[in-house]
Amino acid sequence: DSGVTQTPKHLITATGQRVTLRCSPRSGDLSVYWYQQSLDQGLQFLIQYYNGEERAKGNILERFSAQQFPDLHSELNLSSLELGDSALYFCASSVDGTRGTDTQYFGPGTRLTVL
Amino acid sequence: AQKITQTQPGMFVQEKEAVTLDCTYDTSDPSYGLFWYKQPSSGEMIFLIYQGSYDQQNATEGRYSLNFQKARKSANLVISASQLGDSAMYFCAMREDSYSGGSNYKLTFGKGTLLTVNP
C-alpha cells in the first residue's frame, strides 16, 4: 500500500458525460500528479499540483481540468467524455515535487470506461 | 526521439534465476532521476528502485538492483532469485531536474517489459 488513495476504483459512464476522480496523497506529501495510462499512448503525464497551485502541465486535454484543495486532496474532472478517454487514471504524490530525485508514489488508479 | 526505451516487450525467466530488464534513456539534463516501477495484473504501480544521476554507486533494494551505466545512458533493472510473484509489467521512468517553465518534473515512462516467471 503506497498510502495514496483514489476513488472510485472503477467508473463506467457514457459519451458526453462528466466525471470526477478523487485522490488523497500520502501524509506529508505536498505534490500531486495525474497520469493517464492507455493501450495506445502508454503512461502519459497530465498535470502536477504543488501545495494547491498548478505547477506543470503535460498532454492534458482542454476538456480535462484538475485542482488541489487546501487539505491537499486533488480532483481530476473529465468532461464531454469520448470513447478514447477510456483509460486507467493514476494519481501519484511526492514530498515536494521540486527535485528530480523526488520519488512519486502511485495510487491504485481509477479505471474509466466510456461507453 | 524517445526519452526512455525499453527494447524487450516480453521476457521469460525460470523461478530462482536472475533476470535483467533493459532501459536506455536520452537526456541532456545533467541532473535527473531514474526509476523502476512494477505493475502487476491488478493494475497498481509499485515503486521499486531509484537512481540519481550523480549517485556514484548502483542502487539496490532487496532483490532489486539497478545497473547504472551513465556514459551509455542505460539503467537496467536486475532482479535476483526471481519469484512467481515477480510476474508483472515493469516500467522504467526518468525525471529531469531542470525546470524551464514546462513540465519537466513529470515522469517520462518507457513502454514497459512484461516479465513472466515460470515455475
CA pair distance A94, A32, nearest whole angstrom: 7
Q: Which residues of B touch A92 (CB under 8 A)?
A: 45, 107
Cell of B43: 493494475
Name the more confident of B20 and A2.
B20
pLDDT tier, B102 (very low <50, low <70, confident <90, very high otherwise): very low
- The residue ranges of chain A whose pLDDT is under 70 are 97-101
CA pair distance B77, B92, nearest whole angstrom: 9
CA pair distance B2, B5, nearest whole angstrom: 7
Strands B19-21 and B74-79: antiparallel
How many percent of chain B have pLDDT more than 70? 93
Name the more confident of B105 and B11.
B11
Candidates B32, B104, B106, B111, partner chain A, best to mutate (most A CBs within 10 A): B106
pLDDT tier, B104 (very low <50, low <70, confident <90, very high otherwise): low
The angle formed by the CA atoms of residues A38, A88 and B113, to the nearest 5 degrees, is 55
A-chain residue closest to B51, CA distance = A101
Which class for A102: exposed (0-12), middle (13-18), buried (19 or more C-beta within 10 A)? middle
Q: What does the mean pLDDT of chain B come to?
A: 92
pLDDT tier, B41 (very low <50, low <70, confident <90, very high otherwise): very high
- Is B64 in the A-facing interface, judged by CB distances under 8 Å? no
Length of chain B, in residues? 119
